[in-house]
Structure 1
Amino acid sequence: MDWMKIVAAMALIMFIIFLFPRARHMMENSPKGSSSDWMSFVIPIVMIVLFIMLLIQLV
C-alpha cells in the first residue's frame, strides 16, 4: 500500500467517527413527516414516472 491509500483510509475512518454520532442525533431529533408531507413527495415522483413512461412509449 502506498501512502495515498493509507491517508485515504484514515480520512474515511475519521469521517465515520465524527459524522456517525451527529447523523444519529439528527435522525432521532428530526420532525416526523405528516400525511401531507408524504403526499407532497409522492405526487412529483409519480408525475416523473408517468412522464418517463410516456417518453418510453414514444420511442
Structure 2
Amino acid sequence: MDWVQIISALALVMFIVVLFPATRHMMKNSPKGTSSDWISFVIPLVVIVLFILLLVKLV
C-alpha cells in the first residue's frame, strides 16, 4: 500500500467515527412519515421507473 491509500483509509475511518453518532441521533429523533408522505414519495419514483423503462424499450 502506498501513502495515498493509507491516508484514504484513515480518512474513511475518521468519517465513519465522526458521522455515525450524528446519524444515529438523527434517526432516533426524526419525525415519522405518514402514509400520505410515503405515497407522495412512491408516485414520482414509479413515474421515473416507468419513464426509464420506456426509454429502454425505445432503444
Q: TM-score, length-normalised on structure 2? A: 0.81
1:13 equivalent in structure 2: 13
Please list the CA deviations of residues 3-55 of structure 1 after superposition, one character each: whole Å capped at 9, or x if unmatched: 11111111111101100010011111111000110010111112222323333
The match for 1:28 is 28
For structure 1, the residue ranges without an aligned partner over 5 or more in a row are: none
Cα drift, residue 57 of structure 1:
4.1
Output the aligned Cα RMSD: 1.5
Looking at structure 2, the residues matched to 33 and 17 of structure 1 have their Cα atoms a distance apart, in angstroms, of: 28
Q: SS at the partner of 1:44?
A: helix
Residue 58 of structure 1: CA displacement? Answer: 4.0
Task: Provide the rounded CA distance (Å) in 1 between the counterparts of 2:19 and 2:47.
Answer: 35
Gaps in structure 2 of 5+ consecutive residues: none
How many residues are aligned here?
59
Q: 1:54 to 1:4 in 2, by over 3 A?
A: closer
Q: TM-score, normalised by structure 1?
A: 0.81
Deviation at 1:56, TM superposition (A): 3.9
